[in-house]
Amino acid sequence: MMLTYPNLIPVLPELFMAFMIVLILIVDAFTSESKKGINLVLTLLTLAGCFIIQKIIDRGVTQLTFNNMFILDGIATGTKMFTYLFSFVAVLYVKRYVCDKQMLKGEFYAIFLFAVLGMMVMISADNMLVLYVGLELLSLALYGLIALQRDSVKATESAMKFFILGALASGMLLFGISFIYGGTGGYLQLEYILKAMLSQNDTNGALLVFGLVFIVAGLVFKLGLVPFHMWVPDVYEGSPLAVTTIIGSLTKIAAVVFIIRFLIGGLVLLNPYWSIMLLLLALLSLFFGNIIAIAQTNIKRLLGYSTVSHMGFVALGLVTVNVDGVSATLFYIVTYSLTALAGFGVLTMLSRDGFECENLDDLKGLSKTNPVYAGLLLLVMFSMAGIPPLVGFYAKLKILAALVASGYIPAAVFAVVMSLIGAFYYIRVVKVMYFDEPVKEIVPADTCVFSRTILLVNGALLVIIGIFPTMVMMYCNQLITG
C-alpha cells in the first residue's frame, strides 16, 4: 500500500504550536522557580510565530488537507489571526495575576496554549468529528485552567460544573452527529453532507431534523444561549479572573466559527428548522440575559449574563442565513471579544494576591482612585450598551440592519428594547465608578508598562473602530465572501 503524505503546509501553525507546547512543558520541568519567566516569553513567541506563519501560508485561496478534513479558507485564516492576536494580548493582561495567585505551578501557559490549539482546530475543521475533537481539546484545557487554583473551593466547583454540563452537551452534539451520519448515508464531511442532502429528495427529513435538534442544543450550549446558559455565570464567577478573561473573550470567536461551520457550512439546507430554533433561543437569551443581569452584584456574574444577551445578538445575525447577516455576526463577535478583553483586562489588573476585584462595591469610586482604569471600564460599558461612537454600536447596527433586511422587524424591535434594559446595568457600573465615594483604596498590581500600554491601546481601539469601522467591517465581509 502506498502511503501518501498529507500536505502539511496548511497545518503549519497548528504543528508549530503543538511543538512549542511540548517544548514549553519540557523547559518548564527544567527551570527553577525564579526563572519561570521564560515560559511567558516562549508563549508570547509561540503566538507571534503562529501569527507570522499564518500570514505566510495564506495564499488567498482555500487549501484542504488530511483527506479534506482540514480546511484553510478565508474565514479560518482571518479568525485564527484574531485569535492569536487576542491571545497574545490576554497573556499580557493575566501574566501578573497568575504569578500573584500562585497559578504558575501547574503549567498555566502550556494548558492555555492547548486551549488555543483547540480553537484553531475548531476553526479549521471541515468534518464533524474533527470539529468535535477541536471542541474537546478546548474544553478539556479550559476545565484544567479553571481547576488550576487547586485550593479554591469556588474554582473547583465551577470546574466540575463546567465539566459535567460540558460533557453532557458534547454528548448531545455527538448524538446529533450520529443521526446526520445515518440520515445522509454515512457522511461526516461537511461538503458531502451538503451534497447528500441536495441529491436526496428529503426522504430522511425527519431523521435529519431529529439530529439537528441535538446538534443545535450542543452548539448553543457552547455559546451559552438560554436555556443552555446556566453554566455561564457560575463559571465566570468561579474561575480565577485570568481564566474568565480567556473564556469570556477569546473562546467566543472560535465558538461562533464552529457554529457557522456546522449550520451554514454543513446543514444549511435545514435552515428553515434551525433558523426558527436559533431565533427563539436568541430572543430568550436577550430577555433573560438582560433581565437577570440587573440583579447581579458580582461583576463577573454580571458580565456572564451580559455575555448571554450578547450571544443572543450573535445568534440573531445567523438567523438571517445570508452574507450580510453572517458577516455582521463575525464583526459582532470580533468586536465583542475585543471589548470583553479590555473589560476583563481591567478587572484582572486591578486584582492582586489576596484580592479579587469582582464585586460591584470593589469598584466604588474607582474614578477617584484610578481614573485611567475607570475611564477604560467606562468605554467598555458604553460599548457593550451599544452607545455610539463606540464600537458596540456598529456591531448592533449591522445585526439589526441584516435582520430588518430579512424581514425580521419584530425581532429587531425586541432586540432594541432589550438593549435598553441592558443599558441599565451597564450604566450602573459606570455609576458605581464615577458617582459613588471610594470605600477602600484599590492599589492595582504593578503590571509592566507594556501591558498597561496595550490595555490603553485596546481601550482606544473601542473608540477608533467605533468611529472608523469600515476597515474591520470590510475585512469580516471579505472573510465570508472569500
- Binding residues for other proteins, rule: CB under 8 A, are 367, 371, 382, 387-389, 393-394, 397-398, 400-401, 404-405, 409, 412-413, 416-417, 419-420, 423-424, 427-428, 430-431, 434-435, 468-470, 473-474, 477
Nearest approach, Cβ of residue 334 and other proteins (Å): 14
Q: Which is nearer to other proteins, 202 or 441 (CB)?
A: 441
Q: In whole angstroms, what is the distance from residue 345 CA to residue 452 CA?
A: 10
The one-letter amino acid code at 189 reads: Q
Q: Which residue has the cell 501518501?
A: 4
Nearest approach, Cβ of residue 409 and other proteins (Å): 7
Q: Which is nearer to other proteins, 36 or 431 (CB)?
A: 431
Whether residue 16 contacts residue 46, with contact meaning beta carbons closer than 8 Å, is answered with yes
Q: Is 355 helix (H, G, I), strand (E, B) or coil?
A: strand
Q: In whole angstroms, what is the distance from residue 239 CA to residue 1 CA?
A: 50
Residue 64's beta-bridge partner residues? 71
**437-448 residues labelled b (16+ CB within 10 A) or e (exposed):** eeeeebebeebe
Q: Would you state the cell numbers that stand for residue 446, as one nine-digit string?
A: 504593578
Nearest approach, Cβ of residue 255 and other proteins (Å): 24
Nearest approach, Cβ of residue 80 and other proteins (Å): 23
Q: Which is nearer to other proteins, 161 or 428 (CB)?
A: 428
Nearest approach, Cβ of residue 401 and other proteins (Å): 5
Q: Which is nearer to other proteins, 168 or 404 (CB)?
A: 404
Q: Which residue has the cell 445585526?
A: 399
Q: In whole angstroms, what is the distance from residue 314 CA to residue 281 CA?
A: 11
Q: Which is nearer to other proteins, 134 or 469 (CB)?
A: 469
Nearest approach, Cβ of residue 403 and other proteins (Å): 8
Q: In whole angstroms, what is the distance from residue 14 CA to residue 54 CA?
A: 10
Q: Which is nearer to other proteins, 43 or 290 (CB)?
A: 290
Nearest approach, Cβ of residue 340 and other proteins (Å): 20
Whether residue 49 contacts residue 104, with contact meaning beta carbons closer than 8 Å, is answered with no
Instruction: Tell which residue, 97, 99, 113, 110, has the closest CA to residue 29.
Output: 110
Q: Which is nearer to other proteins, 106 or 388 (CB)?
A: 388
Nearest approach, Cβ of residue 312 and other proteins (Å): 16
Q: In whole angstroms, what is the distance from residue 234 CA to residue 232 CA?
A: 6
Q: Is the preceding peptide bond at 13 cis, omega within 30 degrees of 0?
A: no
Q: Would you state the cell numbers that stand for residue 124, as one nine-digit string?
A: 479549521
Q: Which is nearer to other proteins, 45 or 420 (CB)?
A: 420
